[in-house]
Amino acid sequence: MAAWKLASREWDAVDAFRFSTRDAREFRNALIILMSAAGESKANIAADLRCSVGTVDVMRKRYRQSGVEGLRRHSPPGRASRADEKFLNTLRMVLDTPPHDLGYGFSVWSAERLVQHLKNVTGIEFSSSHLRRLLKAEGFSFQRPKHTMKGKRDEAAYRHARRELEVLKKKPCGRMLARS
């Protein structure tokens, strides 16, 4: 293959791109082009940048086809999330609805309950820890409920029982330990 050569303005454009990006892979891609133009072999570039020779070939090809734009990442890494906009809309709707209104016998959503309900409604299942991350990303606060009987009990009887318990705690026990 012919030697790689870059005109001065092309070198400057690739170098400017290299220092303007915050993405490590885009930085590496620009280095591949600059090192190629400096006369380095594919094997040396791959070894120095700890990438494959195939990556060097792909970046060279993309640069020839699209210039500096070919060095950019075109899509985020990994597969697309199953939590698409439809799922997130369903999640928001469910969180705005009390569980009693949906026919459940509990009044507070737990992560596990929410996972199960969303699986039944959308057919998509996430782990409870991943669902918590989704909730945080959507701006929801996920906390454990405080279980209290306040407002659900007879307060007068409760205060009376507490006073009785305090009296019982202060009385000495009927049995004494024998000393030897």
42-to-5, 47, 57, 72, 92 alpha-carbon distances in Å = 14, 9, 8, 20, 51
Amino acid at position 159, single letter = R
Query: Do 89 and 36 share a domain, yes or no?
Result: no
pLDDT attached to residue 15:
94
Query: Do 90 and 131 share a domain, yes or no?
Result: yes
**DSSP per residue over 131-148, as a string?**
HHHHHHHTT----PPPP-
pLDDT attached to residue 12:
95
pLDDT attached to residue 60:
95
- Is residue 37, in this structure, part of any structural domain at all? yes
- Is residue 143, in this structure, part of any structural domain at all? no
- Is residue 118, in this structure, part of any structural domain at all? yes
Query: Do 67 and 94 share a domain, yes or no?
Result: no
Which has the closest alpha carbon to 55: 85, 38, 32, 72?
Answer: 32
Q: How many residues does the chain have?
A: 180
Considering the entire predicted model, what is its pTM? Answer: 0.46
User: How many folded domains does the chain comprise?
Assistant: 2
Query: Do 18 and 66 share a domain, yes or no?
Result: yes
pLDDT attached to residue 105:
86
Query: Do 106 and 133 share a domain, yes or no?
Result: yes
- Is residue 171, in this structure, part of any structural domain at all? no
24-to-20, 21, 36, 82, 126 alpha-carbon distances in Å = 11, 8, 18, 26, 30
- Is residue 65, in this structure, part of any structural domain at all? yes
**Please, what are the averages of pLDDT over each run of 10 residues along the chain (180 residues)?**
80 94 94 95 94 94 94 80 89 90 87 92 92 88 70 82 86 60
Query: Do 61 and 111 share a domain, yes or no?
Result: no
- Is residue 163, in this structure, part of any structural domain at all? no
Range of the domain at 32: 8-71
Q: Could you give the CA distance from residue 42 to residue 32 in angstroms, rounded to a whole number?
A: 9
pLDDT attached to residue 38:
93
